[in-house]
Amino acid sequence: MAKKTSKIGRYRIVDELGRGAMGIVYKAEDPNLDRLVALKTIILPEDAEEHGEYRKRFFLEAKAAGKLNHPHIVTTFDCGELDGMAYLAMELLEGIDLRTRMTKQGVTALEAVEIARQVADGLGYAHERGVVHRDVKPGNIMLNGGGKAKIMDFGLARMRMADHKTSTGMVLGTPRYMSPEQISGQPVDQRSDIFSLGIVLYEMLTGTRLYSGENIEQVQHSITQTEHVPPTRVVPGLPAMIDFVVARALKKDPAVRYQDAYELAADLETCLAELRGQGAATEPSGDKSRTVKMEAGKAIDAPPARAIAIDTRLPVSRLIDSTTAVKRIKNASSDELTRLPRRVGLLRRVVRDAAVRRFFVVACFAGFAGFYIALV
Amino acid sequence: MSASLVGSVVFLKIAEFARRTASEQARLRAQLEAVIAVVTAEIDPEGRLVLEAADGAAIVLIDDPRAALRLAQRALTAGAAGLPLTAGINHGALQLSGRKGAEGLTGDGIAVAANIAEFASSSRLLASRAFRDALADAAPGREAALVPAGNFTDAGLRAHEVFSPNNGGLERRRRRYSAASVAVIVAFIGAGFAWRATHESRAPLLSTIIAKYPYVGALVQRVRY
């Protein structure tokens, strides 16, 4: 790939758009239709057996993706193979990907929900046709100038089997955006994409990384074991319904997650209406739709995530005031509020338990009477 | 800064919350908040904390386990109209942590209460053994209102002995003690007579009483006729 390519198949290379682990993305011209396309090249493995398998899967996925024609999915026009390299000709979009947008400019809450709604809509369409993305992440969502979001690289995660292998099975996708079932190597379906979109939505809304760690294992542990902090806790002012939508999309158990991306899109539509209402009510300050931006090159961790079970940290309610009790707990001496229940002894029971006390008095009188009868 | 405490945790869980639509979740959550506002109104604000949970809420009562039981029962009654609640009560260790204005509680007290609420069926209240002991400590005898409801093992393979409220439990206990009182009276007096009967040298009790109190003798005569 060192020498400059001028033509791939019938496509004439105009410019290089980017490079990735799988290959290079070019801006190319299709002379037959006289239109510009994005040409994604994928280097096929050299090993003959692997090559055959890879090639077969590539064309299968490309065919499936080629059938998707939706305003929120990047259209695949063509695919082919040339000199050990597979390529995909796709719709060329003017704009930036969501990852770049989040780090450079930030996303307002309104935009975040709108983008997620559009992506959910696109995913719903693909899922209906049996196509699962498997790698929904900000880098795979393109935004054009008009605020339209488009999902890229449908099915390409399958092509990257070598990227993340585990001893238990094949793991496909980008670790930070994987679903728990993807991590454990179980078969994935549309609900896995919903989980990944939930992470993207969370990160857009809060400007923090939801699942992070120093290595893949830490990230995976975090995805499978920890609960997120509700977005309204990180960014006060977001509508409460956002919490429910995000929580449902991020359920660890796919059975209780959104079962359908359209369902998620419908709930996001309701959130949008609420956000627009808030925006209209607070037009001058514009507080409710503040832009959150991820710092470029630096991972901002989400607030400490809550572990399930015994480490579960429940936040003090914002709606019912508990400040008096909090103050009391903070000011209490070390043993004032930490007394454990004692076993109730006989004496305490006689003194404080009415039924036992009555029995005790009766027993005393009866004993005295018996004694009197016997001895007097 | 963190502070430890031991308190009673009432975990109110909206049944099947995760399976509901987001708009329904928002509606049920608002309804639950209204119920909590009502049931906590009578409790001293110094003695209670309300916590948010993903599928419900937890109320921590610092001073009185009796209030926790009352509160849970009231919440279930108040929520009966269209709010599918389950409740779990536990008494255990808790830790307050977090910066000012963003405090939260962790601890076994909450975890067990949440597990028990998960186990309870709709409109049902279950309490842990630790809570029953705390109730006995605070008001000896009141623990009889909680009757054994079985054992269950949670997702973490921890076994819990659970109790459910039963007002008949207190009444049964009262009757049991009354019966025991009668039995004790009969036993002691009977023993007195038996003692007297076995000691032939002594005059019969009635003769002794009549000799001592002549009007008792007259009364006995009148009864005979």
B9: domain CATH number is: 3.30.70.1230
Give pLDDT tens digits for A87-107: 888 888 888 899 999 998 889
Position A143 scores a pLDDT of 92
DSSP string, A44-74: PPSSHHHHHHHHHHHHHHHHHHHT---TTBP
Same domain, B120 and B203: no
Same domain, B210 and B128: no
Which domains are seen in chain A, by residue range? 7-92 (3.30.200.20), 94-311 (1.10.510.10)
Position A362 scores a pLDDT of 92
Domain-ending residue, one of B130, B148, B165: B165
Q: Report the distance separating Cα A46 and Cα A32, nearest Å.
A: 31
Give the number of other CB atoms < 10 A from CB of residue B156: 10
Give pLDDT tens digits for A327-352: 999 888 877 788 888 888 888 888 88
Position A161 scores a pLDDT of 44
Model confidence at B225: pLDDT above 70: no
First to last CA, chain A: 120
Q: Pick the residue of A258, A314, A331, A344 with the most B CBs within 10 A to test the interface with B by mutation.
A: A314
Same domain, B209 and B121: no
Same domain, B127 and B182: no
Same domain, B137 and B45: yes
Q: How many residues does chain A have?
A: 376
Same domain, B75 and B156: yes
Q: Report the distance separating Cα A24 and Cα A65, nearest Å.
A: 19
Q: Work out the minimum CA distance from B144 to partner chain A, whole angstroms.
A: 11
Same domain, B71 and B147: yes
Q: Report the distance separating Cα A27 and Cα A20, nearest Å.
A: 15
Position A291 scores a pLDDT of 58
Position A146 scores a pLDDT of 79
Nearest residue in chain A measured CA to CA from B35? A320
Q: Is the Cβ–Cβ distance between A337 and B62 less than 8 Å?
A: yes
Q: Please judge whether B4 and A344 are an interchain contact, meaning their C-beta atoms are less than 8 angstroms apart.
A: no
Q: How far is residue B31 from each of residues A173, B34, B89, B118, measured CA to CA in Å?
A: 40, 5, 21, 19
Q: Please judge whether B4 and A352 are an interchain contact, meaning their C-beta atoms are less than 8 angstroms apart.
A: no
Q: Is A358 exposed, middle or buried (0-12, 13-18, 19+ CB in 10 A)?
A: middle
Same domain, B9 and B102: yes
Chain B from 32 to 71: CB within 8 A of any A CB: 33, 36-37, 40, 45-54, 57-58, 60, 62
Average pLDDT, chain B: 87
Mean pLDDT of B107-119: 90
Q: Report the distance separating Cα A117 and Cα A268, nearest Å.
A: 6
Q: Report the distance separating Cα A205 and Cα A324, nearest Å.
A: 32
Displacement of CA A276 from its chain's centroid (Å): 24
- The count of structural domains within chain B is 2
Q: Please judge whether B141 and A367 are an interchain contact, meaning their C-beta atoms are less than 8 angstroms apart.
A: no
The dihedrals phi and psi of B169, each to the nearest 5 degrees, come to -60, -45
Q: How far is residue B33 from each of residues A321, B39, B59, measured CA to CA in Å?
A: 12, 10, 11
Give the number of other CB atoms < 10 A from CB of residue A364: 12
A353 interaction partners in chain B (CB closer than 8 Å): 140-141
Give pLDDT tens digits for B146-187: 999 988 887 777 888 999 998 788 888 889 999 999 999 999
For chains A and B, count residue pairs whose Cβ atoms are closer than 8 Å.
Answer: 204
Nearest residue in chain B measured CA to CA from A328? B46
Q: Pick the residue of A194, A233, A320, A347 with the most B CBs within 10 A to test the interface with B by mutation.
A: A320
Mean pLDDT of B36-63: 91
Q: Please judge whether A326 and B40 are an interchain contact, meaning their C-beta atoms are less than 8 angstroms apart.
A: no
Q: Report the distance separating Cα B30 and Cα A320, nearest Å.
A: 12
Q: Which residue has the tokens 């639950």?
A: B32
Give SS3 for A260: coil
Q: Report the distance separating Cα A192 and Cα A198, nearest Å.
A: 10
Residue from the list B18, B111, B136 with its beta carbon closest to the beta carbon of A310: B111
Taking CB atoms within 8 Å and a gap of at least 24, the contacts of A2-10 are A8/A39, A8/A41, A8/A82, A8/A85, A8/A87, A9/A80, A9/A82, A9/A87
For the entire predicted model, the pTM comes to 0.63
B177 interaction partners in chain A (CB closer than 8 Å): 355-356, 358-359
Chain B from 160 to 189: CB within 8 A of any A CB: 173-174, 177, 180-181, 184-185, 187-189
Q: Work out the minimum CA distance from B224 to partner chain A, whole angstroms.
A: 23
Same domain, B92 and B184: no
Position A284 scores a pLDDT of 44
Position B36 scores a pLDDT of 92
Question: In b/e form, how buried is each residue of B107-135, taking b as 16+ CB within 10 angstroms?
Answer: bbbbbbbbbbbbbbeeebbbbbbbbbbbb
Domain of residue B187 covers 172-224
Position A93 scores a pLDDT of 85
B184 interaction partners in chain A (CB closer than 8 Å): 359, 362-363, 366-367
Selection from B210, B54, B81 nearest residue A314 by Cα? B54
Same domain, B198 and B148: no
Position A305 scores a pLDDT of 35
- Residues of chain A with pLDDT below 70 are 1-5, 20-21, 48, 155-173, 279-311
Domain-ending residue, one of B165, B194, B211: B165
> Which region among A317-326, B124-133, B163-172, B190-199 has the lowest average model confidence (pLDDT)?
B190-199
